């Protein structure tokens, strides 16, 4: 499977990178984003609801090898529901989280459960901080669920993710005006992504990408 890049504006001008699986596309993104010495606010909250979360440690290792300085943030407000991803995650009050977002160079939002992530971002006020930071030109990297929440609305992700936290407001970060369908055609998401395309293809501007593709804008 060859690496494919979808560039919606000049690649060197891009500050939003949306992917399915960062480990597959990191080397190409690194050609554009100079990670060396950059401060990365690494939000892995979505993975705290998942038993399978190897992709988090993969991304951390890759970014550190690129020379990035990571600050792993846990924005979860309901810790009793969360499965810790790493003992390196730091728990902050709102003001400290917002400060970390404002001081970083790059915001990285990892994959996991879209709706758990959505719920916790909104409750922690990181929601608006991310929107403001990206609007001001900070780099946003969204992997899987982190790419989905960048959309105007996330209801289209219901065939792909369980809404176990009963989110009723599906409003996304609205960083882009389209809807990423991550892991398209890739196991174990083949049926779920096909169902998403079938159910929401006529009502949403869906952009399916497989694990070796990313969108930059």
Residues acting as catalytic residues: 144, 183
Place of tokens 């984003």: 33
Give the list of residues 6+ apart from residue 13 with CB closer than 8 angstroms, or none. none
- State how far the Cα of 62 lies from the Cα of 133, in Å rounded to an integer: 23
- State how far the Cα of 147 lies from the Cα of 179, in Å rounded to an integer: 9
CA distances from 192 to 98, 138, 188 (A): 35, 32, 8
- State how far the Cα of 35 lies from the Cα of 56, in Å rounded to an integer: 17
Place of tokens 């055609």: 185
Taking alpha carbons only, the member of 59, 50, 47 closest to residue 17 is 59
């Amino acid at each position: 499977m060859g690496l494919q890049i979808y560039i919606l504006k000049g690649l060197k001008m891009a500050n939003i990178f949306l992917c399915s699986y960062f480990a597959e596309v990191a080397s190409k993104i690194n050609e554009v984003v100079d990670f060396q010495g950059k401060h990365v606010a690494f939000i892995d909250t979505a993975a705290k609801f998942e038993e399978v979360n190897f992709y988090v440690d993969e991304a951390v290792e890759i970014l550190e090898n690129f020379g990035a300085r990571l600050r792993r943030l846990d924005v979860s407000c309901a810790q009793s529901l969360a499965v810790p991803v790493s003992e390196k995650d730091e728990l902050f009050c709102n003001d400290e989280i917002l400060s970390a977002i404002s001081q970083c160079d790059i915001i990285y939002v990892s994959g996991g459960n879209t709706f758990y992530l959505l719920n916790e971002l909104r409750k922690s006020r990181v929601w608006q901080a991310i929107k403001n930071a990206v609007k001001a030109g900070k780099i946003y990297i969204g992997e899987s669920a982190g790419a989905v929440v960048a959309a105007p609305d996330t209801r289209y992700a219901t065939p792909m993710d369980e809404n176990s936290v009963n989110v009723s407001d599906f409003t996304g970060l609205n960083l882009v005006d389209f809807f990423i369908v991550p892991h398209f055609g890739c196991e174990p998401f083949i049926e779920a992504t096909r169902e998403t395309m079938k159910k929401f293809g006529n009502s949403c501007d869906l952009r399916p990408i497989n694990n070796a593709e990313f969108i930059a804008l």
